Amino acid sequence: MSTRRNAVEMGRALAILRSMNVRNARIADAKAISSLVNYYAEHDRMLFRSLAEVYEGLQTFFVAEWDQKVVGCCSLEVIWSDLAEIKSLAVGPEERGKGIGRALVAAAVEQARELGLPRVFALTLEPRFFEAVGFTVIGKEDLPMKVWSDCARCPKQDHCDEIAVIMVLEHDARRDRGQAAS
């Protein structure tokens, strides 16, 4: 990439980060979420999510919005009392590498913290990204059986190439007590 193009890209990345909004998904975002996820599913990077599945799980989704457009999404699903999973993390192909994925993961992790969950994991083909945002690679065998429910509908179930990553959250005991009292 030329120096000038680099500078233009960098300027655009900074503009996006400054004015981007990461928020809980709304009904009007469902189609954009479904197309983002399914774009990567078609490239074999993640599992398909039908529009019906996105509506069903809408409350678990965050979106990154820039210039009134959804440029990224991810969901946080509670698996058990001590574990949540980041799923369907996708940033539009034009907008990758600008900090949007990091911002989406931060929002999901913050929600896990607010819910009082001690651990968040993901199954991913992008372990280096997750390491860059604070996760650690672990053996898939270290995850409980409960997390494998999606495997039944995965075309790669017999030759799974996903890598497990996890983040252990620190909790503010005072904040957790406040939540329990409210």
Residues that bind ligand COA (CB under 6 A): 40, 45-46, 89-91, 96-102, 122, 124-126, 128-129, 132-133
Nearer to ligand COA, 10 or 125 (CB): 125
Nearer to ligand COA, 53 or 116 (CB): 53
CB of 96 to ligand COA, least distance (A): 3
CB of 133 to ligand COA, least distance (A): 6
CB of 58 to ligand COA, least distance (A): 19
Report the phi/psi class of residue 119: left, alpha or beta, with left for phi > 0 and alpha for psi in -120 to 50: beta
Nearer to ligand COA, 71 or 117 (CB): 71
Nearer to ligand COA, 9 or 56 (CB): 9
Nearer to ligand COA, 118 or 127 (CB): 127
CB of 178 to ligand COA, least distance (A): 31
Residue of closest CB approach to ligand COA = 101
CA distance 159 to 157: 6
CB of 136 to ligand COA, least distance (A): 14
Q: What single-letter DSSP state applies at residue 73?
A: E
CA–CA distances in Å: residue 57 to residues 5, 18, 147: 39, 28, 16
- Asked if 57 and 77 touch (Cβ cutoff 8 Å), the reply is yes
Nearer to ligand COA, 13 or 78 (CB): 13
Please write down the HEC assignment for all residues of 123-151: EECCHHHHHHCCCEEECHHHCCHHHHHHH
Q: What single-letter DSSP state applies at residue 170?
A: P
Please, which residues have CB within 8 angstroms of residue 64's CB and are 6 or more apart in sequence?
20, 21, 22, 70, 71, 72, 73, 91, 100, 103, 104
CB of 40 to ligand COA, least distance (A): 4
